[in-house]
Amino acid sequence: MGQRALPLSDPRLGRAVRTAGTMDEVSGVVLLLPDGRADSHRRPSPLSYAAQLPFARSLARAGVGDGLAVHVLRYRRRGWNADEAHPVEDAAWAADEVQRRYGDVPVCLAGHGMGGRAALRAAGHGSVTSVLALAPWLPEPAAGGAEPVRQLVGRRVLIVHGTNDERTDPELSYRLAERAKKSNRDTCRFEVHSDGHALRQHRSEVMALAADFVRGSLFARSYARPVADALAAPPPLGLRMPLAAGFGRSLRH
């Protein structure tokens, strides 16, 4: 007899990633959406979840005084899977689950690679106020049309992409940001010069930029000047902003 495929589990959030000294009351939530594959109906690798934990802890430390909770979403499937767009469905489920657990709190969808595309796509959920897409995977426009941007209206959007990314094309994230900016001025994009898909070379700067954007978007904190300038600048300035070395150090001074 042939082997039967194991049933796929439901999406899961699990415990919030928090840090010592965090307020008991949750006032805002970041949902981290991991990277994945274009096509795969297999269960996600545990490594995709684990890879997000350092980022989750970094954000949790930054929001320790704001009542921030960070959750890493565990998808049902490893892949995007064409029109099925499974990670988008899972992200919408996660936003509903946040409302069930914490009530009417603002949500930031933050994703890397495939997760970045899912964050952008799922932004229309009623609880989502902001989107952070790191090196988002955005395929070349096909006969079906370009990636949608209407769902980004009313959200604050930050895209970060390394100029040497060989897995996801930074020019495609620029084009999407350019289209989004026409209907949503609160869209900006930073380029990390010489960095690749994992954004490891300037990791501290990327982490600091993300934390500043999350705190400003969820808790009405003042943005650091580079972020404020990028949000206010017209294209192409607000969409090709270089991420300056020492960004994280400048926030601490």
Indicate the pTM of the whole model: 0.93
Among 236, 130, 154, smallest CA distance to 190 is for 236
The model's pLDDT over 106-165, given as tens digits with 9 standing for 90+, comes to 999 999 999 999 999 999 999 999 999 999 999 887 755 789 999 999 999 999 999 999
Give me the pLDDT at residue 251, please.
62
Among 34, 108, 109, smallest CA distance to 76 is for 34
Residue 9 has pLDDT above 80, yes or no: no
For 194-223, what is the mean pLDDT? 96
- CA dihedral in degrees (19, 24, 29, 35; nearest 10)? 30
Give me the pLDDT at residue 82, please.
93
**Bridge partners, residue 187, by sequence:** 157
**Bridge partners, residue 190, by sequence:** 160, 241
pLDDT confidence band for 23 (50 / 70 / 90): confident
- Burial class of residue 155 in the structure, from the number of CB atoms within 10 Å of its CB (0-12 exposed, 13-18 middle, 19+ buried): buried
CA atoms within 13 A on the CB side of 34: 25
pLDDT confidence band for 253 (50 / 70 / 90): very low
Give me the pLDDT at residue 181, please.
96
Q: Report cis status (omega within 30 of 0) of the bond before 236.
A: yes
Q: Out of 161-165, 166-170, 242-246, pick the least confident.
A: 242-246
Give me the pLDDT at residue 225, please.
93
Q: Centre a 10 Å sphere on the Cβ of residue 228 and count the other Cβ atoms it contains.
A: 14
For 24-46, what is the mean pLDDT? 93
Give me the pLDDT at residue 176, please.
97
Are the CB atoms for 72 and 17 separated by under 8 Å?
yes
Give me the pLDDT at residue 117, please.
98
Give me the pLDDT at residue 2, please.
47
Question: Quick one: angle between helices 86-102 and 114-121, nearest 10?
Answer: 60
Give me the pLDDT at residue 110, please.
98
Question: Quick one: angle between helices 225-232 and 203-219, nearest 10?
Answer: 70
List domains and CATH numbers for the chain. 11-249 (3.40.50.1820)
